[in-house]
A and B are shown apart, each in its own frame.
Chain A
C-alpha cells in the first residue's frame, strides 16, 4: 500500500506542476466533463487501460482539472452498440469523448454527430477515420519492421522465422504483419516459413504453434504481436525443440519467463508493445484540446520497448499477472503534441 501511495503522491505532484503551466495561458477546463467510450474489457491489457484511466481521472477530478471523467464500456464489442453509446454520451452533454473504437469506419456517423454537436472526439488505439476526430495512433507497421531489424542485428546469418499473428480481419493485425513482411523483404536472409493466428491470446497461440511445429524446419526466430510469446515458448518446449529468439510483448508472465531464461542460460531478446496507459495520454490530449490548445489531428504514440537492460526495472513496476505499463502525464501529452506540430 505504501508504494502505491507514494506513486499516487508522485503522480499528483507531477500533475500539480503541470496544472500550474496549463492554467497560466489557457482556458479553464474545471467545469468540463470527459467520457471514455471503450469497446472491450475482456483481456488484461484492456483492464490495465481502464485502471489507468480511472486513476488519472480520479486525480484530475480531485485536483479540479476537469469536473468528471467517466468510463463507459460496451459489453459485446459491437460497432452498433458503441455508436448508440456515443449518441447517449452526446445527449448527456459531455464536452469531450475519448474513444477506443470497435471499428475504424463503422462509427464515423456517430462521431460526426458528436462533432456537429460541438463535442471534441479523440480516438486512440482503435482509431476512427472521420476527419473531425483526433487520432492518437501507433505506427504498427514500424513496430513490425523493428522486430525484424532487431532479429537481423542478433542473427546476422538469418534463417527461418515463424510469424504469430493476431486476430484475423483486424486492422492492427494487418498493419503489424505488413511491417514484419516489409522487414523480411529488407533483410532477405530471413524467410517466414510458417504463419499462424494466435488471436492475441496465449492459449490460442500455444495451440496454433503446437499444431504447425511438426511440419516446420528449424526455426531461429519468432515474430509476434504481443501477448503470445509465452505460449509460443511453451509450445516449443513441449515439442522438445530448442527455444528460438522470440520477440515478446509486455505481459508480466512473458517478462518473468524472459528473466528466468536469462538467469538460467543468458537468453536475450526484446519486448515491443503498446502501453495500456495510452488512455491517460488520450485523456490529457482531450483536456488540452478543451483548454484551447492547437492540437494537430494526427498524433503518434511511441511504443513501449523493454530491453535486456531495462527488464528488471520493468518487472519491478509491473504487478504480477498484469502488463507492463506507462502512465502518461500532462507533460508527456504536451511533448507528443509539440512533436506532431
Chain B
C-alpha cells in the first residue's frame, strides 16, 4: 500500500475524477481541448503554488500574502519597459525577476528587521506593491511584444509552453528539496526551528532565500500570465492569493511545515481548474459551486492527512 500512503496521490485522483466527470457530459468529446486548457491555466497556479509551498514548509505562521501584488507589480513594470517593442522579451523577463527579487528581499527585511509576523509583513508590503503598480502605470494595459505573446500561448511537443516552464520549475524545486543541502536545511527548519538552529543550520539564511524564491516565482508567473492574456491588469493576481495556498494544502504539503510535496502541487493546480470547469459544465450556480469546491477541498485534505498519519 505504499502508493496509497503518498499524500500527493489524492490531488491527482481528484483531478482525474473531475476530468472524467466533465467528459462524461460530452461523452468523451473535447478531451484534448480540456486537458490542454487545464495544463495552460494550471501552470500559473503551479508556479505560484511551488513558491508558496517552500514558504509554508518553513513552519507555522509562514505564508506569503504578497503574491498577487508581486505578480501585478512585476508584470506591470515589465510590460511597461517592453512597451510592445519586438525583441525586448528578455529585458522584460529580467525586469520582472528583478522586481520579484526586490519584493522578496523587502518582505524578508520586514520580517527580520522589524520582527513582524510574516502574515502582517507580507500583507502590509502587498499594499505598497499594489500601490506602486497603480502609480507606475495607472492601470493602462500595454500589450506584450508579439513574439512573447506567441511564446506564452504557443505549444511545444503538444504541451503548452507555460506548462513546460511550470514542469521544469517543479523538477528543479524537487531536486533542490530532495538532493541539496539547502533543501535539507529548509525541511529541518520547518520541522523544528530551534533544533535546526542548534544543529548549526543557518536558519535566517534559509528563511531569506525562501521568501526571495517565492517572490521570484510570483514575478515569473505574473510575467507569463500578462504575456498570455494580452497585458497586465491591476487585478490580475487577485485569485492567486487563495489559489496558491489551496494548491499547497490539497497537494499534500503539511500546513504545519517541514514536509513539502512537489508532485501534489501540480495535481492540485490541475484539479483547481478542472473542478471549476466541471461545475460550470454541469450548470452549477456560483453559490453551489463555491460550497462544492470548499467541500471537495476539505475532503481531499482529510483523505491525504489521515493516510499520512497511519503510515
Contacts and interface: CB of A to CB of B under 8 A. Distances in A.
A44 B229 contact: no
A204 to B, nearest CB: 6
A194 interface: yes
13 contacts: A42-B130, A44-B141, A168-B287, A168-B290, A199-B235, A203-B225, A203-B233, A207-B41, A211-B274, A212-B281, A214-B30, A214-B33, A251-B141
Contact of A215 (B225, B233, B235, B281): B281
B88 interface: no
Given A195-B280, A215-B25, A320-B140, A202 B229 contact: yes
Interface in B50-85: none
A239 interface: yes
Contacts of B286: 165, 168-169, 197
B142 A44 contact: no
Nearest to A257: B230
A293 interface: no
Interface string B266-289: 000000011011001101001100
B229 A194 contact: no
A75 interface: yes
A51 B135 CA distance: 12
Contacts, number: 126
Interface string A223-237: 000000011001000
Contacts of A48: 139
Interface string A43-60: 110111001000000000
Given A197-B286, A238-B37, A238-B153, 20 more contacts: A42-B130, A44-B234, A47-B134, A165-B286, A168-B290, A194-B280, A201-B233, A202-B230, A202-B233, A211-B34, A211-B38, A211-B277, A211-B281, A214-B33, A214-B37, A215-B30, A215-B34, A251-B141, A319-B140, A321-B140
Given A44-B141, A211-B277, A234 B34 contact: no
B205 interface: no
A320 B142 contact: yes
Interface string B112-151: 0000000000000001001000100011111100000000
Contacts of B29: 214
Nearest to B45: A207
Interface in A232-250: 234, 238-240
B167 to A, nearest CB: 19
Nearest to A319: B140
Shortest 8 CB-CB distances between A and B: which pairs? A214-B30, A211-B277, A168-B286, A47-B139, A321-B140, A321-B141, A44-B139, A215-B281
Nearest to A76: B127
Interface of B is mostly: helix
Interface in A179-196: 194-196
Contact of A203 (B140, B229, B273): B229
A256 B278 CA distance: 32
A208 interface: yes
B236 interface: yes
Interface residues of B, number: 44
B273 A211 contact: yes
A253 B31 CA distance: 31
Q: Which of A213, A253, A321 has the most CB of B within 10 A?
A: A321
A299 to B, nearest CB: 27
Nearest to B26: A215
Nearest to A233: B230
Given A169-B286, A204-B239, A44 B41 contact: no
Given A75-B127, A321-B141, A194 B283 contact: yes
A123 interface: no
Contacts of A215: 22-23, 25-26, 30, 34, 277, 281
